Amino acid sequence: MKYHFVGIKGVSMGALAEIVKSMGHEVSGSDIKLSGHSKSNISSDIDVLVRTSAVNQGSPGWVEVEEAERRGIRVIKRSELIAEITQDKKLIAVSGMHGKTTTTSLLGLIMVEAGLDPTVLVGEGIEEFSGRAYHLGCGEYFVLEACEYDRSFLDFHPEILLLTNIDEEHLDTYPGGLPEIKDAFAKYIENIKTGGYIVANGDDENIIEVLKSARKDLNIIWYGKKEYLTEFSLALKGEHNRSNASAVVLVCDILGISQDHIQKVFSRFKGANRRMQFWGEHNNSLLFDDYGHHPTEISATISALKSEYPGRKLNVIFWPHQYKRILPLIDKFSDSFSLADSVFIKDIYFVPGRDERLAVSSRDLADRINNNSNKAIVFTDDDEILDEIDKISREECVILTIGIPPIYMLLEKLISKGK
């Protein structure tokens, strides 16, 4: 079989392509980061075209989907392919709006350490997997970061589901807001195999509500703040990471993994790429980068850094992602920066095919933040803001870039500036 991946340079899509290739299939792919998207990329020997949920009408890759359909080539979503290749595996899925990548990474690494040799697919690369977002195993388990975007997780049928949280997110695909999101999670839980397990966050009211209607044959195991890792030490910082790690311990209990294996991984795992990732120092200031693009994630990262470095000012550079995300959550975004000492905001990133240029701007967000304190400014010129950050860094502070991936390039430039 030959699979063609539209958007193959995406971290997860590239990882999935490698897994499929390891199974003996032929793989091709296209991406706007390569030579772009074109009808000519669709050759007659392709059996299946695989697209992400981000590839839809209006996005550059859609031209390849249309050409494949014209040729009679089977077109499936990434999640459908994952469902197919995990049919003969014991699937352990990690779901929730926040914390999936770190939690999946921890669990996968512990299972590898314990000799279970799972296949693992996460949403970002980790050092322990040589920077990749996957691990190819020969064991019976498949550990998956199962995303809720576009209801992709409804294609999966796990034996164990680890559920971190349910929150207002991806409102471009859930226009009905939280009620629609909770309904999707309720349907997802129906997919769990008979007698399966749910390890659920008992501090999350939305999860508690959704699980009230769960099937009686399912084994629900709760975790919460009272159970946060009393017998383990964790290299990761922040209460949110202690919560995620607590859930991982409970899944390990189900699998019969010893505490020694758990502690070995907890002691050495520093996090996935762009998850409160330490970049180095500049003028004796500490540089961090994070993927956070939702108020809950931003607040958790800022809180963790302020707790870890209470004597240093925290200066944040934020690149917002999607008008459809910012507008309905603008008050929550404003509140999420309450612990920051200064906030520099780049213009909202527009996502073709998934977004609309709604009546909201980064200036609106800055104004909301400045209602309480005059600490937020909007910038459009990277070089100008780089000079400002360079000045600030002489105060021996903490500098955090957060948001969509290109924002970390400011740290690269800052480090180069100091050489």
Please state the rounded mean pLDDT for residues 226-252: 86
| Distance between CA atoms of residues 267 and 164, nearest Å | 21
**Which amino acid would we find at residue 18?**
E
For residue 226, what pLDDT band results from cuts at 50, 70 and 90? Answer: low
For residue 227, what pLDDT band results from cuts at 50, 70 and 90? Answer: low
Helices then strands, each counted (H, E), the chain:
14, 17
Encode pLDDT of 338-371 as tens digits. Answer: 999 999 999 998 876 666 777 889 999 999 999 9
> For the domain bounded by 86-268, which CATH number is listed?
3.40.1190.10
Q: Which residue has the higher pLDDT, 413 or 116?
A: 116
* pLDDT value of residue 87: 94
> For the domain bounded by 2-77, which CATH number is listed?
3.40.50.720
For residue 322, what pLDDT band results from cuts at 50, 70 and 90? Answer: confident
E strands present in 39-167: 48-51, 74-77, 90-95, 119-121, 134-135, 141-145, 160-163
Q: Contact, 377 vs 387, CB < 8 A? A: no
3-state secondary structure of 401: strand
What percent of the chain is predicted at pLDDT more than 70? 97
pLDDT of 419 > 70? The answer is no
pLDDT of 251 > 90? The answer is yes
Please state the rounded mean pLDDT for residues 313-336: 92
Give the count of beta carbons closer than 10 Å to the beta carbon of residue 91: 23
Q: Contact, 3 vs 73, CB < 8 A? A: no
In which residue ranges of the chain is CATH 3.40.1190.10 found?
86-268
pLDDT of 238 > 70? The answer is yes
- Return the HEC string of 169-211: CCCCCCCCCHHHHHHHHHHHHHCCCCCCEEEEECCCHHHHHHH
Measure Cα distances from 174 to 17, 65, 98, 167, 355 in Å. 28, 23, 16, 11, 13
pLDDT of 324 > 90? The answer is no
* pLDDT value of residue 358: 78
For residue 35, what pLDDT band results from cuts at 50, 70 and 90? Answer: confident
In which residue ranges of the chain is CATH 3.40.50.720 found?
2-77
For residue 142, what pLDDT band results from cuts at 50, 70 and 90? Answer: very high
Q: What is the mean pLDDT of the chain?
A: 92
pTM of the model: 0.88
Encode pLDDT of 94-106 as tens digits. Answer: 999 999 999 999 9
Encode pLDDT of 46-88 as tens digits. Answer: 999 999 888 888 788 999 999 999 999 999 999 999 999 999 9
* pLDDT value of residue 330: 93
* pLDDT value of residue 264: 97
pLDDT of 417 > 80? The answer is no
In which residue ranges of the chain is CATH 3.90.190.20 found?
277-417
| Distance between CA atoms of residues 44 and 155, nearest Å | 28
Domain 277-417's class? alpha beta
